Every structure is written in C-alpha cells, then in structure tokens.
Amino acid sequence: MPTATTTTLTLPRKSLKPAPSPALESLYNRAARAFLLRDIPLVSSLQEAAFPLLHPPEHGDYPDDLAPYRAKWDLLRITLETTLFTAPTPDVPESLRQLLSQPPHSLLTSTYHRSLQLFTPTNTASKALYIPSAVILTLVYSSLKLDAADAGRIVVEDWLATRAYLSLPSSSADDEERSNYRKVVEAYCLHILPKLEQWDYAKEFLDYESELARDARESIRVALEDLYAQAISARLPTPHVSKSLVFLRIDQHCYAAHEIQTLAKRVPTARTAAATSAPHAQSRGPADRATALYIRYPESVDCALPYVDDQVVRNLVRVVCAATCAATDPATSARGTKSA
C-alpha cells in the first residue's frame, strides 16, 4: 500500500526589523547639524547610536545599501576627532577624551585601522582598496592637520599599492575617483613627503606616475620644484653685508662723472634722498656720506656682495652718487629739492 509523503519547504524568514538606512539618514542629519553648532556631546551620542548599525559589507564586488552611510559617517567621525584634537573644547565626552589623548601618529593610525575594519568585507583581508577615495583623502588631510605626516604616508602608500585592483562602476564614480586621486597625489608630493624631507622621492614618484593626465602631473612637478627652492632658501643663513666692499664698488662709480649724471637722472627718488641727506653730509667725506645713506636706506642691499645682483648695487650707487653731487653742488641740491 503506497504511503503518502509530505515535503516541508522552508522559506527564509523575512526580518521584521526595519531597514537601517532611514534611521541612519535621520541620525546623520541631526549629527551634521550638531557638529556645525559645535554641540559635541550630541554628535558623540548620535555616533554611538549609528555605528552599531554600520556593519562591514558582505561582498566587495558591488556596493550594498549601507555603502553611502558608511562613508558619510566615517567622514564625520574623522573630521570630528581631528577638529577636537587641534581645537579641543571643555565639553568633550570622556570616550572621546581618552581617544584624543593619544599622540598624533597613534591617533591617525588607529583612525585608519578603524576605517579598514568598517569598509573591508567580512572574511576578507583588510586592504586600503576597500576604503572610498573620499575617506582616504580625508585621512590624508587629517594627517597634515595633526602633524602626523609619517602616518599619512602609510595611508597613501597602502592605498596607491592597491590602485591596480580598483574597478570603477560608472562614469560619475570615475570622475570623482580621478579628482580624489589627483588631490591625494598633490597632498602626498607637495605636503607629506616634503614634511618628511623626501624631496627626491617625491620627484621620483612623479617621474614614474602614469595615472594622472600629463598637464596635471607637470603642474605638481613645477609646484614641487618651487617648494624645494623656497625650502633651500629659507635654510640659508642671512648673510652679513660688508659695507667696506659696498663702498669700494660705490667709489668706482663716484669718480665717473658722466655715469653719476646718467644714474642720477634715472632715479627721481635718488634726488629726493640727496635733498634730505645733503645737509647732514656736507661736512663729511664721500665714505661718511655713503655710510649715513646706507644706514638710512638698508633696503637698497639685501644680501652680501658675492650674491648681490649688479642692479642691486647700482640702486645703492644711484642714491649715494646723487647725494654726493648734491652735497658738493648747491645748484644740484636746489634742483633735487625742487624735484622732490
């Protein structure tokens, strides 16, 4: 006698819990307003309510519903902590106070590792590849604001090492990715590496970089060269001006009458200087007058003679020669006063 059999089909139980997206959106809007109003305790409490809802993604091949909220909340968290570290307020909650007591390098490193945990899919090795470029860029800027360039370098180089595996799903994402990539490279080459005295490495990186457009890469290269020149110039000691050498050059011009007249005509301010300085210089010799005028017009020479441009020396010569002419020729002095 045949026996009837029954088959039980088990359907997946639909969760009765509402999707977290609306709650995360509402919490984020409140937190953003509170941050703008500097209501730090409220921002902190809203973060504590939001992040338990932001579990890591299950897959890394495509974004899930929580992807935009992970980025927004992580950006807010990084910005909040960086702001409080650089400009602390008395109403910082104890949980944030303990976090912000770390040294800058440790704070940025722990922030980076926290982002890795948030964006890396479950059961997958942590890679900077999974962190959105906007978050990477914010971490880089935070490292500069925290004066933790060494930690920022780790973030950038980890991320750059995974660029070959990056897949862009749409043209809009591609545009944003390219823009963020350029900003990261600019911060890396023009701020992070220079702070670490890695000028040669920055130049070498640009030599081998191939993702940027040619004009963008060249623009960064030119900016790097300018920064390097400024850094070298700032390190040079302020040279001492040797007045005796300056006067020797001046004397060479003072005895050439035609050159004196030519130079005096070119600089109206020299005649003004002659008119105002001659009464104090009439009883002195040429060298004394040169000394008086040099002290009065120190801007005429800005560095020691071995590095002085000829035009700089001539500027000083014009002033001294005009004063010398005015002191020895009453007619010249009168004309100089009238011109002034």
> Do 64 and 105 fall within a single domain?
yes
> At residue 193, does pLDDT exceed 80?
yes
> Do 201 and 228 fall within a single domain?
yes
Q: What is the pLDDT of residue 95?
A: 83
Alpha carbon 167 to its chain centroid, in Å, reads 30
Tokens of 3: 């026996």
- Exposed/middle/buried for 236, CB within 10 Å: 0-12, 13-18, 19+? exposed
Higher local confidence (pLDDT), 89 or 259: 89
> At residue 161, does pLDDT exceed 50?
yes
Q: What is the pLDDT of residue 315?
A: 56
Q: How far apart are CA 260 and CA 254, in angstroms?
A: 6
Residue 285 is part of which domain span? 243-339
Q: How far apart are CA 175 and CA 269, in angstroms?
A: 56
**Average per-residue pLDDT in the chain?**
74
Higher local confidence (pLDDT), 118 or 60: 118
Last residue of a domain, one of 180, 201, 236: 236
> Quick check: is 189 in a domain?
yes
Confidence band for 273, pLDDT divided at 50, 70 and 90: very low
Higher local confidence (pLDDT), 189 or 302: 189
pTM for this structure?
0.65
Last residue of a domain, one of 182, 215, 236: 236
> Do 131 and 200 fall within a single domain?
no
Q: How far apart are CA 241 and CA 312, in angstroms?
A: 13
> Quick check: is 10 in a domain?
no
> Do 254 and 319 fall within a single domain?
yes
> Quick check: is 13 in a domain?
no
Q: What is the mean pLDDT of residues 301-326?
A: 47
- Check: CB of residue 246 under 8 Å from CB of residue 305: yes
Q: What is the pLDDT of residue 278?
A: 39
Q: How far apart are CA 31 and CA 200, in angstroms?
A: 43
Q: What is the pLDDT of residue 94?
A: 86
